[in-house]
Amino acid sequence: MKTQTKLRKKTLTLIEKAIVQIIGFKELFQAFEDKILVLGLSSSALNNYARKVAEVCLHFNRLPKDISENELNKYLADMAREGNPPCLSNFKFTVYGLRHFYRLSGMNDRLVELPSIKAKKKLPVVLNYEECKALFKSPALLKHRVLLALIYSAGLRVSEASRLRISDVDSGRMMIHIRQSKNDKDRYVPLSPLVLKGIQRYCEACQPVDYLFNGSIPGTPLSTEGIQWVVREAVKKCGFAKGISVHTLRHSYATHLLEFGMDILSIKKLLGHGCIQTTMVYLHVVHSNRINLFSPIDRLYKKV
């Protein structure tokens, strides 16, 4: 019994710790949850904002309303200095989370004290065609080879690959159903015939349960951390010097679709972007007519 209690303490999330340790945080989290629901934002937004506010509360051992302006400014300044370069997403969610808290608490006078954030405009890292091929064949396990090829072939986010169920792969319509992704939106993307063959071989050999890619326990999804590990190991084996992550495959998917002639509006739809400006980062000078949707992996291995 003592062992179970110790294990539970070790696995408490930041939000759970704040609920236990900070008086009033439970009510604050409930208010966050209600507000996110009313605004129609995703559950990931709730978790990101609440987690960062929980971190602030645990650092000061009190709610943000009881933290002085000087203390909070010093905390944010120290965070902005962290890392080389600083982690923009970490800083961003802290600031946005605090802004939401002050709005919920009717403390609008505190909003101006939080610094505005300007993202650095950088072009994404993209793999070339031969690097993609090398990456897909580098893992020893069939499961991992299929996973990498599928992420690229459908332009999946890491969370989308993790949550993908066997039933979401529709071989009859040759489509993949991406459910409740960013901003809780569904979308369909083309299923590559080449990748379908790999999925069928993998399913026959590994017999996954419910989720297409199971974790250590059948019927549970392979975690996003597990997927990131697969990519890191594949990159290491290939000896690539580029800064490559799971999202690099999504960047490569969009860029290659443009290079193979697909129009920007179709790519926006396939990526599930909310606005065209987000997709435009992949566009330099491309003027093409709308054509049939396809996966770039089929063009990658197309016989000349």
Residues belonging to the active site:
157, 182, 247, 250, 273, 282
Q: What is the rounded CA–CA span in Å between residue 199 and residue 166?
A: 10
SS3 letters across the chain = CHHHHHHHHHCCCHHHHHHHHCCCHHHHHHHHHHHHHHHCCCHHHHHHHHHHHHHHHHHHCCCHHHCCHHHHHHHHHHHHHCCCCCCHHHHHHHHHHHHHHHHHCCCHHHHHHCCCCCCCCCCCCCCCHHHHHHHHHCCCCHHHHHHHHHHHHHCCCHHHHHHCEHHHEECCCCEEEECCCHHHCCEEEECCHHHHHHHHHHHHHHCCCCECCECCCCCCECCHHHHHHHHHHHHHHHCCCCCCCHHHHHHHHHHHHHHCCCCHHHHHHHHCCCCHHHHHHHCCCCCCCCCCCCCHHHHHCCCC
